[in-house]
A and B are shown apart, each in its own frame.
Chain A
Amino acid sequence: MSDASGCGAPAGGVKVTGGVGTQAIVRGHVTSLGTPVLSGYARLLNSDGEFVAEVPLGEDGGFTFYAAPGDWTLRVLAPGGVRVERSVSANTGMITELEVAV
């Protein structure tokens, strides 16, 4: 799935292919008035508020993270000073879906 020679975050994050396996996935979309937000960033913060990862939003306003099990904060940044947070829990073997309206 991942490429050990790379480390960057593609827009929207790496798509989930095949089964979830032992991954603890947090996935979702960012919308504004029902329309996908195309230019912006989703950041994952741990329970201490520390930055863990970030992806640029995908063409559908989407994001995907492969977190460890536990509680996380998702923060969305977008042009115009948009800064919105949501709490989310990740669980092994599950995809936690999160829709964020800004």
Chain B
Amino acid sequence: MSRPDVLIDAEWVQGHLDHPGLVLVEVDEDTSAYDKGHIRGAVKIDWKKDLQDPVRRDFIGRAEFERLMSERGISNDDTVILYGGNNNWFAAYAYWYFKLYGHDRVKLLDGGRKKWELDSRDLVIDVPARPATSFRAGEQDRSIRAFRDDVVAAIGHLNLVDVRSPDEFAGRLLAPAHLPQEQAQRGGHVPTAKNVPWSKAAEEDGTFKSDDALRALYGDQAGLDFAKDTIAYCRIGERSAHTWFVLHELLDQPNVKNYDGSWTEYGSLVGVPIEVGDAS
């Protein structure tokens, strides 16, 4: 993959809003943003209601994903362009999710909703009517998804990248600072994890830094061994999907997994090792 295969800029999207075979999808946790205004023609996906199993902590199944795509009017031949708020966290998560279910015709709008807004580009409230399709998904590609046992086994052996803020990594905060600090789980990080906050991969306007800057960030500065497999995690797996996108899609690292259980699972496990304190 090269950058143009996976990332697309706002100017191009602006000029191709009516291009056949392209489907814009806004993905957010708080979909009120979409309801107040979105890029013309975009359909919405609710990160929680649409992509999470309503009972168990897991994803919706293959058949449910097929149903979701079909209802949104997305076909297997369509190229999906994902964007969203929170610097594209949930859009990157959806990108990873689409890949998990085998849909390779997917790209991320560089900078997401934030860049679009800061550029003063138009947003509309009209919701498009797209005819239903018969989308077919693949089995989950487990080569890009890590589970808790993978993380424990990786301690001291593989690259573990904790992409939360330094204060969350150290255990001083249990959630991003825009959320109240009340959680059941313990604070800290997985031993041997490197702390590379997701935000270091992004410019202030939400666009990704250059490939050279990203390679230097994870290699020279953070000390990741690119010859080893990597697992990225955060709190619930969406910020780490942003880092998974950087490592796997932009930097072409072959074996990178996103641990979607992340700290809300790991920090609540009995018997696993935890470290606290700042990165050394």
Q: Which of A's residues lie within 8 Å of B, judged by CB?
A: 1-2, 4-11, 13-14, 22-23, 39, 41, 43-44, 46, 48, 50-56, 64-68, 77-80, 83
Contacts and interface: CB of A to CB of B under 8 A. Distances in A.
Contact of A5 (B85, B118, B236): B236
Nearest to A6: B29
Interface stretch (B62-70, B99-107, B177-185): B177-185
Contacts of A14: 178-180
B162 to A, nearest CB: 14
B117 to A, nearest CB: 6
A9 B205 CA distance: 16
Q: Which of A13, A50, A52, A83 has the most CB of B within 10 A?
A: A52
7 contacts: A8-B238, A41-B118, A43-B204, A46-B165, A50-B199, A65-B178, A79-B120
Interface residues of B, number: 45
Interface string B103-131: 00000000000100111100000000000
Contact of A55 (B29, B167, B178): B178
B178 A4 contact: no
B29 A8 contact: yes
A53 B176 contact: yes
A77 B117 CA distance: 11
B243 interface: no
B148 to A, nearest CB: 16
Interface stretch (B86-94, B219-227, B269-277): B86-94
A8 to B, nearest CB: 3
Contact of B167 (A9, A13, A52): A52
Contact of B118 (A43, A65, A78): A78
Contacts of B199: 50-51
